[in-house]
Amino acid sequence: MNFLLKFTVFVLCLFILNPASILIADSLVEPIYFYASQPGEQTLDQGEGGGNPFASAFVELLTYETLTFDNFLSMLIDQTLQTSRGLQQPEILSRADMVSWQFLPISSNERRIALILVFSDYTNAGASSLPGARYDLYRISRALTKTGFEVHTAVDPDQSELNNILEDFSERSMASDIALLYTTGHGVEVDGTIYLLPGDYPIIYGKAKLNERAISLTRMGGAVRANKANLVFYGGCRNNPFDDQ
């Protein structure tokens, strides 16, 4: 058996055993992450208009007629600081070269898709609920729809629903030029990893259940797989309330 044939058989076996690994591997455009605060810091659920100041700044920028990507970055930071009265300073991590891309106006031949996924109801987790998160979902989805995005939303999904939502969005985003994910809820950052806590996360167990019951932001970021740019906005906290447990 020659090398090419062996390699083909090997790849087919991988796909049969774990098709998800193939899907992840062929996504070459790394996501750009937008965090609502710095490491170790919290975010607000009751900012201007009732939601997160980070979301307020995002929605405001989407009303502009012309907006380059560079201007979007700097103005998102400045306006979040202003709206939160200095309590939230966003952090943006990007290796992508987006100088030539304009956030607004949308190009006539550019397909954009977005998923807004929030956790708001924490009644079953023993934590305070986040009404601002639900409010942010509605206003961000409206703003993105007006700027040419095909928008999908999800509120308080359980684990099975969440897996299906991310899988579906991953497939849809592959056929898009730009994919955007906005997510928020109660979140923690432990050992450099950000976890979003679902509405039924057992808070009494602290960080012991993170790997089993929470979802890492990088896993969610793996669902944005467009061919030009992938944008992940995270409005949750980055502190670690489980540090003493």
Q: Say yes or no: 131 and 208 in one domain.
A: yes
The CA distance from 242 to 204, in Å, is 10
Q: Say yes or no: 35 and 12 in one domain.
A: no
3-state secondary structure 12-73: HHHHHHCHHHHHHHCCCCCCEEEECCCCCCCCCCCCHHHCCHHHHHHHHHCCCCCEEHHHHH
The pLDDT profile of the chain, 245 residues, written as one tens digit per residue, is 554 444 444 444 443 444 433 344 444 789 999 999 999 999 999 855 679 999 999 999 999 999 999 999 999 999 999 999 999 999 999 867 787 889 999 988 999 999 999 999 999 888 999 999 999 999 999 999 999 999 999 999 998 999 999 999 999 999 999 999 999 999 999 999 999 999 999 888 899 999 999 999 999 999 999 999 999 999 999 999 987 65
Minimal CA–CA distance to 209: which of 230, 188, 238, 226? 188
pLDDT at 97: 77
- In this prediction the pTM is 0.87
Q: Is residue 244 situated within a structural domain?
A: no
Q: Say yes or no: 25 and 46 in one domain.
A: no
What is the tally of structural domains in the chain? 2
Q: Say yes or no: 12 and 92 in one domain.
A: no
Minimal CA–CA distance to 213: which of 188, 189, 192, 195? 195
Q: How many CB atoms lie within 10 A of CB 237?
A: 23
pLDDT at 3: 45
Q: Is residue 245 situated within a structural domain?
A: no
Q: Say yes or no: 97 and 191 in one domain.
A: yes
Look up the CATH number of the domain holding residue 122.
Answer: 3.40.50.1460
In degrees rounded to 5, what are phi and psi of residue 136? -65, -40
Hey, what are 173's tokens? 């985003």
pLDDT at 34: 97
Q: Say yes or no: 99 and 193 in one domain.
A: yes
Using DSSP's 3-state secondary structure scheme, residue 118 falls into: strand
Q: Say yes or no: 154 and 46 in one domain.
A: yes
Q: How many CB atoms lie within 10 A of CB 138?
A: 14
Q: Residue type for 139, please?
A: R
Q: Say yes or no: 3 and 59 in one domain.
A: no
Minimal CA–CA distance to 157: which of 84, 107, 223? 223
| CA atoms in the 13 A half-sphere facing the CB of 111 | 9
Domain that holds residue 179: 31-234
Q: Is residue 242 situated within a structural domain?
A: no
Using CB atoms within 10 Å of the CB of residue 1, give its burial: 0 to 12 exposed, 13 to 18 middle, 19+ buried: exposed
Using DSSP's 3-state secondary structure scheme, residue 98 falls into: coil
Q: Say yes or no: 169 and 213 in one domain.
A: yes
Q: Say yes or no: 20 and 126 in one domain.
A: no
Q: Say yes or no: 181 and 77 in one domain.
A: yes
Q: Say yes or no: 83 and 2 in one domain.
A: no
Hey, what are 190's tokens? 């432990």
The CA distance from 187 to 132, in Å, is 14
Q: Is residue 241 situated within a structural domain?
A: no
Hey, what are 96's tokens? 């992508």
